Amino acid sequence: MAISAAMVKELRERTGVGMMECKTALVEANGDIEAAIEAMRKSGQARAAKKSGRTAAEGVVVIQIAEDRKHGVMVEINCETDFVGKDAGFVSFAEAVAATALASPVKDAAELAAQPLIGDPSITVDAAREALIAKIGENIQVRRLLRFDGVEGALYSYRHGVRIGVVVALEGGDESLGRDIAMHIAASNPLCLSAEQVPAETLAKEKEIFKAQSLDSGKPEAIVDKMIEGRMRKYLEEVTLLGQPFVKDPEQSVEKLLKKAGARVLAFSRVEVGEGIEKKTENFAEEVMAQVRGS
At 251-291, the pLDDT tens digits run 999 999 999 999 999 999 999 998 887 665 444 455 445 54
Query: Is residue 196 domain-resident?
Result: no
Q: Is residue 250 part of a domain?
A: no
**What gap in Å lies between CA 283 and CA 295, rounded to an integer?**
19
pLDDT digits (tens, 9 = 90+) for 171-192: 999 999 999 999 999 999 999 9
The verdict on 45 and 103 lying in the same domain is: no
Q: Say whether both 96 and 39 belong to one domain.
A: no
Name the pTM for this structure.
0.73
Are both 62 and 146 inside the same structural domain? yes
Angle between helices 33-43 and 5-15 in degrees, nearest 10: 40
SS3 for 5-25, per residue? Answer: HHHHHHHHHHHCCCHHHHHHH
Residue 164 neighbours by CB under 8 Å, 6+ apart: 61, 186, 270, 271, 272, 273
Considering only residues 54 and 49, tell me which one the structure prediction assigns the higher pLDDT.
54
d(CA 223, CA 177): 41
Do residue 32 and residue 74 come from a single domain? no
Which of 118, 150, 182 terminates a domain? The answer is: 150
User: How confident is residue 230, by pLDDT bands cut at 50, 70 and 90?
Assistant: confident
Structural domain of residue 120, as residue ranges? 58-150
Query: Are 20 and 81 within one domain?
Result: no
What CATH number did the domain enclosing 92 receive? Answer: 3.30.479.20
Q: Tell me, yes or no, whether 106 lies in a domain.
A: yes
- Look at the chain and report how many structural domains it folds into: 2
Neighbours of 8 (CB within 10 A): 20
The span from the CA of 56 to the CA of 99, in Å, is 22
123 and 39 within one domain:
no
* CATH code, 23: 1.10.8.10
Please say whether the beta carbons of 146 and 167 come within 8 A: yes
Same domain membership, residue 66 and residue 46: no
Of 51, 67, 86, the residue that ends a domain is 51
Confidence at residue 16, expressed as pLDDT on a 0 to 100 scale: 61
Distance CA 186, CA 190 (A): 9
Phi-psi region of 263 (alpha: psi -120 to 50; beta: other; left: phi over 0): beta
Do residue 73 and residue 127 come from a single domain?
yes
* Least confident stretch, 63-72, 149-158, 210-219: 210-219
Side chain identity, residue 80: E
Residue pair 141/165 in contact (Cβ under 8 Å)? The answer is no
Q: Is residue 128 part of a domain?
A: yes
